[in-house]
A and B are shown apart, each in its own frame.
Chain A
Amino acid sequence: MAHPILQAEDVSKTYDGFRAINALNFYLFPGELRTVIGPNGAGKSTFFDLLTGRAQPDTGSIKYADSDAAPAIDLTELNEYEIQRLGIGRKFQTPSVFAEHSVHTNLVLSLKGPRGVFASLFHRLDSTQRDRLDALLKLVRLEDKRHWKAGLLSHGEKQWLEIGMLLASEPRVLLVDEPAAGMTDEETHRTGELLLSLRGKHSIVVVEHDMTFVKQISDGGQVTVLHQGTVLCEGKFDEVQSNPQVRAVYLGRGKH
């Protein structure tokens, strides 16, 4: 089997004595779409915080390997923008777009490219970038609203815009926290299809509560169940669903 692109081993993180992440092991393989589920407070978002440099683990290692040949990079040593530049992008649980900017500008600011002060001063869009922006706008179905202030979009549209922003930066790894929250059933389904279409080109981790959605995107792939900061079990959707432990901590309590 290929080398994992993301590898977290024995990771723990404590907040004021509370173990938010507890001896967690997690391996993501290139091109995989992994779904992570778990009850509220299980540590899913905190795990993303550790992966993206927003927080540092107390113990354990988090490594990123661009390819089989490249040496693994220790992510715990890097900050948010350094990790993003490696190709790890994150969508936040609460949609975070630039509310005062147009949809189009939101995407322009996210486009892959140099991030320095002087590059931003003298930045001009070239024609490939314009085409890329048009394609992205189409993909997230916001062509007609390209000039809208992002703050005026519906909750679901903001989610889509943020996914678009993520894709604009052409990351290798996508960390997507609750993309379907606040969406209608139809929008949720379309989001699922979008994520499935990205499988293979990107390595993706999706955190979700909505079981219909999880079932849709797991599509034969692995589902990881997080509970009290650690992995409770891992497997295909059906296996996980029928696991009595999982039922006890999670499924038994309903969808949300």
Chain B
Amino acid sequence: MSAPASLSAVEPRFFTRTQWAAFLVPTLLLALVLPLLNAFLPADSFLRPSDFTLNLYGKYATYAVLALGVDLLWGYLGILSLGQALFFALGGYAFGMHLLLMIGKDGQYKSDLPDYMVFLGYKALPAHWEPFYSFPFATAAALIVPGLLAFVFGWLAFRSRIKGVYLSILTQALTYAAALLFFRNDFGFGGNNGFTDFKRILGADLSSPDTRRWLYVASVVLLAGVFLLYRWLTRAKFGHLMQAIRDGENRVLFSGYATARYKLFVFVLVAAITGLAGALYVPQVGIINPSEMTPEKSIEAVVWVAVGGRGTLLGPILGAIFVNALKSWATRAAPELWLYILGGLFVGVVLLLPGGLVSLPAKLRAFVARLRRSGDVPVADASKPSA
């Protein structure tokens, strides 16, 4: 039997030619052209992106990775996690430990110990800090620590079939508890000041524009890589199953799939990758403290996704950039209004643009088409002759 070659929805092409272009052009622009312009154009050239701009974009890129994870869980799998910033912050802390040790004797107290340890009267470096002298170890820890926590939490939650609002509340409780723990001085991670005053990374001076440019490039490359990975994941049969679990977990279960294992896999993968983004975030902003893991931070990430467009991979990236750009502006122009703006944005999007920013072009097109058509009505509708 020779059936005509049918386009199978489960195995569509990864990218069409146009999609490759739409992916590669901005990626190359951001990862290659901007840094080159920044490095080689004279400082007064209007084409030259400033060091500050690159640094800001680098930060946004790590936020976008966080947002992609929120969306993979929420938009594709139907799990609204209100604790994703915890994994981001844990990756940041793991890598921050390394950065802190790399300060060496250049801290305020000219000691081998990090400043806060000297201040708190530590005599020696705690044993579990030793391996963090190694860059590869710290990077691996930024992946593994969040992944491990996600595994334990997810294993318990998904096995007991905790779903929906209950799961959301639990994730929020988890991040809240972690924040309280990290706020304590005796927990050993610098209390509410966290880690800061980093001096160098891989021997390079963290305050030099060169180093910061590389961090920016690394962030964009990470974002592009994560985008491709998630794209591949969502296109595979696996991705269809994720959405099937979102829409009707029972049917998936009764089709022979251990849905809890699917959820656990995504939850852990996303936590690890989010942790890596957190690790890149910290050297760029120069600080990590427990305020990064408060429930508000996680909820903000959910707002980015809602604003950008849930259930798409472009939406979270746009949302993270748009909302944070707005935040940069608002916190300078009207800092006390920011939370109202954020809340208003969320409500506005949910009510007026449920598909988020990515749905805007289609909406506009439909609107224009409707305008045209309503102009035609008097002609088309014979029962109501035009005056």
Contact = CB atoms under 8 A, between A and B. Distances in A.
B253 A99 contact: no
Interface stretch (A21-29, A90-98, A207-215, A226-234): A90-98
Given A117-B262, A147-B9, A110 B255 contact: yes
B105 interface: no
B256 A81 contact: yes
A96 B249 CA distance: 10
Contact of B255 (A122, A134, A165): A165
B280 interface: no
B255 A120 contact: no
B10 A98 contact: no
Contacts of B261: 116-117
Contacts of B247: 98-101
Interface string A41-70: 000000000001000000000000000000
B250 interface: yes
Interface string A127-154: 0001100100000000000110000000
A167 B290 CA distance: 53
Contact of B1 (A100, A108, A134, A165): A134
Interface string B72-105: 0000000000000000000000000000000000
Contacts of B265: 117
A210 to B, nearest CB: 24
A120 B241 contact: yes
Contacts, number: 102
Nearest to A124: B11
Nearest to A121: B238
A215 B240 CA distance: 40
Contacts of B248: 96-99
Contact of A96 (B9, B241, B251): B251
Nearest to A52: B254
A109 interface: yes
B243 A100 contact: yes
Nearest to B233: A121
A85 B236 contact: no
B11 A109 contact: no
A122 B6 CA distance: 20
B255 A169 contact: yes
B237 A130 contact: no
B255 A108 contact: no
Nearest to A110: B255
The main secondary structure of chain B at its interface with chain A is: helix
B160 interface: no
B253 A81 contact: yes
B237 to A, nearest CB: 4
Contacts of B244: 98, 101, 109
B387 interface: no
Interface residues of A, number: 36
A80 B237 contact: no
B10 A97 contact: no
B8 interface: yes
Nearest to B257: A115
A125 interface: yes
Contacts of B10: 104-105, 108-109, 123, 125
A102 interface: yes
Given A99-B247, A104-B9, A130-B3, A90 B254 contact: yes
A81 B1 CA distance: 33
Nearest to A96: B251
Contacts of B241: 109, 120
A134 B8 CA distance: 11
B36 interface: no
B238 A117 contact: yes
A241 interface: no
Interface in B234-286: 236-238, 240-241, 243-244, 247-248, 250-259, 261-262, 265
A84 B255 contact: yes
Contacts of B255: 81, 84, 109-110, 165, 169
Given A108-B237, A117-B262, A123-B236, A80 B254 contact: yes
Given A105-B10, A125-B10, A81 B258 contact: yes
Contact of A109 (B3, B240, B253): B240
A122 B23 CA distance: 23
Contacts of B257: 81, 115, 120
A101 B3 contact: no
Contacts of B9: 101-102, 104-105, 108, 147
A147 B248 CA distance: 19
A120 B251 contact: no
A122 B255 CA distance: 19
A101 B233 contact: no
Interface in B1-39: 1, 3, 6-11
B253 A120 contact: no
A148 to B, nearest CB: 11
Nearest to A90: B254
Contact of B256 (A99, A115, A123): A115
A84 B254 contact: yes
Given A81-B256, A97-B251, A131-B1, A146 B237 contact: no
A85 to B, nearest CB: 5
Nearest 10 Cβ contacts at the A-B interface: A84-B256, A123-B237, A120-B238, A105-B9, A80-B253, A96-B251, A102-B9, A98-B244, A134-B3, A108-B10
Given A92-B251, A101-B240, A146-B6, 5 more contacts: A81-B254, A81-B257, A84-B255, A109-B241, A120-B238
28 contacts: A80-B250, A81-B255, A81-B258, A81-B259, A84-B255, A97-B251, A98-B251, A99-B248, A102-B9, A104-B6, A104-B9, A105-B10, A108-B8, A108-B10, A108-B237, A109-B244, A115-B257, A117-B261, A120-B236, A120-B241, A121-B236, A123-B236, A123-B237, A123-B238, A130-B8, A131-B1, A134-B6, A146-B6
